[in-house]
Amino acid sequence: MTDFPVLTPVTDEDLTVAIRAVRTHAPEPWPEGLLCRSERVPFPCRLARWGRATLAAAGLPEQAALVEPHAQADLPEQATPVEHKDTVKATRR
């Protein structure tokens, strides 16, 4: 399954939704490993990746860690989000 497209330029509304996505779709430790708190799928889920990609497209990559309930430093190394090749960038017309 491919990631949601990141529309550019990023609007204020996109940023609001991206921040909510990053907060809501945060990692949560389970016996099976880190799962998305909202969807219970392996972290990072599609919405968490989209939220981070949208923040990065707006030039705010550091803010992704600040808006999450768990700081990146507190997560095991395997939980560090990775760039996914499926992330799609789109341009608004």
The residue-averaged pLDDT of 41-64 equals 91
Assess contact for 50 and 6: CB atoms under 8 A: yes
Assess contact for 28 and 74: CB atoms under 8 A: no
Please state, for a pLDDT cut of 70, what percent of the chain lies above it. Answer: 67
Q: What's this model's pTM, rounded to 2 decimal places?
A: 0.69
> Would you say residue 18 has pLDDT above 50?
yes
CA distance 27 to 8: 27
CA distance 93 to 32: 43
The residue ranges of every structural domain in the chain are 5-91
The residue-averaged pLDDT of 76-83 equals 48
CA distance 72 to 2: 24
The residue-averaged pLDDT of 17-42 equals 95
Estimate the share of the chain in helix, then strand, then coil, as percent rounded to the nearest 5. 40, 20, 40
List pLDDT tens digits, range 66-78. Answer: 766 655 545 445 4
